[in-house]
């Protein structure tokens, strides 16, 4: 029963979601909405548990006096201040807006700015024309960049049109193929979970 009950619940909930999506049944719609609300509640509890686990782990680092314990101090203090500001004052309060607009957003911008250097390095390694596929990637990337940059149109007026065609035809066709194959894979995984073949999400193995 300990193995079969979680599998049966997962299968029944999967069937319920399919019935709600494809059939217009009022009872199924009501149950589906209720289950989705429970999913939101469980996700919120999981997020709170993750935050508690984060605080416990960094508190242990502080108690051990690790060399990087200053980072743990900053993380715990900022987490507590953000939670207090959001829970007791609300997201529209000036303190909560200050945390996001003056701290989180600039840090995120700095992070993405530093990530540009890693992206440039990865692009250099990927664009080396050591075979036919890499050569095609290099030529396509150069055409797209020349079409997007203002200097490209100055060099040749056809570069923007070529770049637009690559992005709207060739790139879109590849993206649709990836999305279709991903959707088929998700359907397969969902069916395996519903019929009880795949039990790894429950920690039951085979």
pLDDT in tens, 142-187: 888 888 888 888 888 889 999 999 999 989 999 999 999 999 999 8
Instruction: Identify the residue whose tokens are 């709207």.
Output: 168
Tally of domains within the chain: 3
- Does residue 157 share a domain with residue 134? yes
Domain presence at residue 206: no
Is 167 inside a domain boundary? yes
Same domain, 114 and 75: no
The predicted pLDDT at position 183 comes to: 93
Question: Do 112 and 71 fall within a single domain?
Answer: no
Phi/psi for 112 (5° steps) reads -70, -30
**Which pLDDT value is given to residue 162?**
92
CB neighbours of residue 135 within 10 Å: 13
Q: Are residues 66 and 11 in the same domain?
A: yes
Provide the token pair at 32.
Answer: 């589906």
Does residue 84 sit in the same domain as residue 29? yes
Q: How many CA atoms lie within 13 A of 46 on its CB side?
A: 6
Residue given tokens 């088929």 in the structure block: 184
DSSP string, 10-56: HHHHHHHHHHHHHS--HHHHHHHHHHHHHHHHHHHHHHHHHHHHHHH
The pTM for the full model equals 0.57
Q: What is the pLDDT of residue 203?
A: 65
Give per-residue pLDDT as tens, 84-141. Answer: 888 888 888 888 889 888 888 898 889 888 887 887 777 777 667 677 877 887 888 8
| Whether residues 46 and 122 fall in one domain | no
Closest among 62, 65, 88 to 76, alpha carbons compared = 62
Q: Domain limits at 109?
A: 96-126
Asked if residue 151 belongs to a domain, the reply is yes
Q: Do 117 and 137 lie in a common domain?
A: no
Give the number of C-alpha atoms closer than 13 A to the C-alpha of residue 193, restricted to the C-beta side. Answer: 17
């Amino acid at each position: 029963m300990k193995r079969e009950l979680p599998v049966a619940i997962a299968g029944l909930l999967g069937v319920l979601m399919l019935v709600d999506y494809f059939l217009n049944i009022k009872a199924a719609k009501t149950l589906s909405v209720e289950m989705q609300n429970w999913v939101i509640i469980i996700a919120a509890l999981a997020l709170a548990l993750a935050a508690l686990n984060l605080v416990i782990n960094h508190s242990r680092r502080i108690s051990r006096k690790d060399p990087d314990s200053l980072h743990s101090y900053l993380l715990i203090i900022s987490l507590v201040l953000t939670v207090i500001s959001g829970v007791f004052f609300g997201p529209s309060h000036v303190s909560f807006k200050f945390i996001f607009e003056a701290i989180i957003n600039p840090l995120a911008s700095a992070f993405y700015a530093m990530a540009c250097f890693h992206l440039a390095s990865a692009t250099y390694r990927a664009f080396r024309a050591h075979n036919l596929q890499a050569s095609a990637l290099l030529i396509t990337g150069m055409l797209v960049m020349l079409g997007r940059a203002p200097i490209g149109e100055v060099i040749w007026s056809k570069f923007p049109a070529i770049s637009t065609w690559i992005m709207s035809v060739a790139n879109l066709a590849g993206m649709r193929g990836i999305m279709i194959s991903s959707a088929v894979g998700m359907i397969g995984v969902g069916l395996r979970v519903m019929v009880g073949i795949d039990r790894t999400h429950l920690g039951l193995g085979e």
